[in-house]
Amino acid sequence: MAVAPPTTLVGRLGQLGPGLIISAAIVGSGELIVVPKLGASTGFALLWFLVLGCVLKVFVQIELARHAIAHQETTLVSLDSMPGPRWRISWVLWAWLLMYCGTVLQVGGIIGGITMICGMLGLAWPPWVWLVLTTGSGIALLVSGRYAPVERYSTAMVAIFTLSAMVAVVALQWTEFHVTAAQMKEGLWPASTTSFGLAFAAFGVTGVGASELIYYPYWCLEKGYGRSVGPPPSGGLWSEARAGWAARARGWLGVMRLDAFVSMIIYTLATVAFYVLGAAVLHQTARDVPDNELIGRLAEMFLRSLGDWSHALFLVGALAVLFSTFFVATASNARLLVDIGGLLGVPAAATPTAEARRKAIQVSGVLLPLASATAYVVWPQPITLVLIGAFGQGLMLPLLAAAALYFRHRRLPPDLLPSRGWTVALWTSAILIASVGAYQLVKASGLVS
């Protein structure tokens, strides 16, 4: 149902939602695991790189959402319109499918991390029990469709956990691991590194990763912005009905931009806090640890900063954040699985009715957690599984940036075109993201050391 957009800043703040939901998923395995691991490996040298990534990707995020709202179509449907080779679906979607398999493995790593944390909390049941309980509870919530309580809880836990990490960074100043001005200057001055592969994985998964860039338009369509704008009216582009729709769309797009930038502030602060903790503490104490010890080493970041009592705080917070990531990521992946099934012509997913789609999403909400849990059982290396997914997302980012430019210049209606300044920012973002991806490919080929 079409709804007029709020006209005041307070009103717009009251309508924020999808970006904060995505923040609950974003501040998860990337910030909690990959970012401190990168800090442990490189020290402060790459703080600038992660902050840059957080800022750059928000422009692509907003442009993809603008296109979804303008056309009332999901991200995968939009990507299927990209020019280039096709076999049943666009080549871009085949590339995305490879990344999607990586995200299923990544969620398996998250499930594995949850089971490890349960054991570290002194909960004495065998690991397989926690694996079954984690997977089963996630399936039950997804099938029930009771998203709202988990979304509210996830958002609250992200805020608390991010705040606790920031407090831990401040408290470091009264320990042997205090951060100096020279270290921060080093972190914010661009420099090269021998650990670019790990840095590239962090670039792909922190902030708005490729998965979140694809998820976000779905939540915008389902959670208010697209629904509030309504479908574009039939008839002439400059009809009275069209003018009213365009004005309503521009108003809600303003709310969406505010939503995206508020969430960017949240996940950038989380990224900086966890990177500084890793660079200050783990770089000196645990530069390279095996998968089964990393969670314990991460807990030491809090312990060294805030004292013995914070060890349990970290584990409980990490448990809550990882579970919320598992839940939100799987809920999003279920929608993506149904969409790609429809585009490929799978009969169970190609039915157009809302009830059939809802049931297909429920079935996906069962199959995906089972697939992720199986991946962890077969390969019980949670950090490695997370890094596989992160690396795949990094490789997908340049394609999504190119798609955002294509949609902006080839498919966006004239009455929703952004300003020239925004277009310059989008091009700058896309070029830099593509440059990072190209550098990683060249480096992986051995052409540069």
Query: Is 209 buried (19+), middle (13-18) or exposed (0-12) by CB count in 10 A?
Result: buried
Cross-strand bridge partners of residue 89: 87
The two three-digit tokens of residue 350, written as one number? 């190609």
Structural element, H or E, at residue 119? helix 91-120
Would you state the pLDDT for residue 8? 43
pLDDT tens, residue order, the chain (449 aa): 555 544 444 344 444 455 445 544 456 677 788 888 888 888 898 999 999 999 999 999 999 999 988 888 889 999 999 999 999 899 999 999 999 999 999 999 999 999 988 888 877 788 889 999 999 998 998 888 766 666 666 667 667 777 888 888 888 888 888 888 898 988 888 877 667 888 888 888 887 788 889 988 887 787 667 667 777 777 666 677 777 878 888 888 888 888 888 888 888 888 898 899 888 888 887 777 676 777 788 887 888 888 877 878 888 888 888 888 888 888 889 989 999 988 888 776 666 677 888 888 889 999 999 999 999 999 999 888 999 999 999 999 999 999 999 999 999 988 888 999 999 999 999 999 999 988 888 777 665 55
Residue 167: name the closest of 40, 302, 268 by CA. Answer: 302
The alpha carbon of 208 is separated from its chain's Cα centroid by a whole number of angstroms, namely 5
Boundaries of every domain in the chain: 9-445
Residue 399's pLDDT is what? 95
Contacts 24+ apart (CB under 8 A), 181-189: 183/43, 183/44, 183/279, 183/280, 184/44, 184/47, 186/43, 186/44, 186/45, 187/44, 187/45, 187/46, 187/47, 187/48, 187/276, 187/279, 188/47, 188/48, 188/51, 189/48
List the one residue out of 221, 196, 205, 206 whose CA is nearest residue 99. 205
CB 206 within 8 A of CB 54: yes
Q: What is the architecture of the domain spanning 9-445?
A: Up-down Bundle (1.20)
98-109 tens-digit pLDDT: 999 999 999 999
The 10 Å CB-count burial string (b at 16+, else e) for 171-203 is: bbeeeebebeeebeebbeeeeeeeebebbbbbb
State the residue for tokens 């907003």: 62
What pLDDT does residue 379 have? 92
pTM value > 0.85:
yes
Judge whether 139 and 365 are in contact, CB under 8 Å: yes
Token output for 224 = 């208010």
Q: What is the DSSP secondary-structure string of 136-159?
A: HHHHHHHHHT-HHHHHHHHHHHHH
